[in-house]
Amino acid sequence: MRITPSIHALKHPFQVPIAPGITLDRFVYSYLIYGETILLIDTGVAGCETQIFDYIRSTGRDPSEIALVILTHAHPDHIGAARAIQGATGCSIAAHPAERAWIEDVERQNRERPVPGFATLVGGPVQLDFELVDGDSIEIDATHSGELQVFHTPGHSAGSLSLFLHSEGALFSGDVIPVTGDLPVYDDALASVRSVQRLRGLTGIHVILSAWDEPKRGEDVYRQMDQALAYLQKIHEAVLACAGADSPDPMECTRRTAAALGLPPQAVNSLLTRTFEANRRVLNRKNILEH
């Protein structure tokens, strides 16, 4: 899908095995920025390199033109095909330093944050060539009048990055902005709120390019972030109600909170518990939208 003359979006459907014979359908987006070379933002899961390479060829370019891959964070659906892509193209890999350990040692990630089907989602570790931190900017090439600005937007993960291409008014938000009604995933509730609020304060955004939602344009851009903030508060209130009842164990709290939010029973897993536990750590705050 062409978003602007230089930005292309690729949607990668995949399945997560959550129980014998039961899978959860998910998708993730990666993005290509065309210039004299090609910059790739996130890689999808293992095997997505085929779709990425085929798409590039369909547009008259060659996969060998990928010069840089930016990983918005280390989770499997973002780094899964990085090893294969680097092996085929020799491209550089960049991410935030807080994500380095899990990108370069995927077995460590699997131990510390187990995900169903991890081994099928990640094609192996990959070494970072350089790190990106808040305030950095990336000059794509002479074909673009602006730079890609780097924002450290933690919450979903410690080193989550968002990227803003000023010349196109395009914000690449990774998984930072939760989707109302969808599975919430974050490690720090307050940091998630502050990151979305920070992005909400940017001017000149014409399109939001999220990893786990469809591209949003026009009035939907800022509305999406307002809805995300309201959803984060709703989640927090649901966790408060559960934890304040009789202090159930984390998994029971997850079941109750998921039901209150209208999430399907199959969504109840260790990742969702991890999210709700992030809210339980700040039970002293009824309104997490206030600084």
* pLDDT computed for residue 146 by the predictor: 73
Is the confidence at residue 81, as pLDDT, over 90? yes
Percent of the chain with pLDDT over 90: 79
Give the C-alpha distances (Å, rounded to integers) separating 242 from 30, 52, 189, 256: 36, 43, 16, 7
What gap in Å lies between CA 231 and CA 228, rounded to an integer?
5
266 falls in which pLDDT band (50, 70, 90)?
confident
247 falls in which pLDDT band (50, 70, 90)?
low
Sheet containing 137-138: which strands, arranged edge to edge? Answer: 137-138, 148-152, 161-165, 170-174, 207-210, 216-217
* pLDDT computed for residue 270 by the predictor: 86
* pLDDT computed for residue 291 by the predictor: 66
Q: Do 187 and 129 contact (CB within 8 A), yes or no?
A: no
* pTM exceeds cut of 0.85: yes
Run of H or E residues at 161? strand 161-165
Is the confidence at residue 130, as pLDDT, over 90? yes
Q: What is the mean pLDDT of residues 32-60?
A: 97
pLDDT tens per residue across span 145-174: 678 999 999 999 999 999 999 989 999 999
R_g over Cα of the chain = 19
Tokens of 55: 């798409």
**Closest by alpha carbon to 234, among 164, 163, 275, 287?**
287
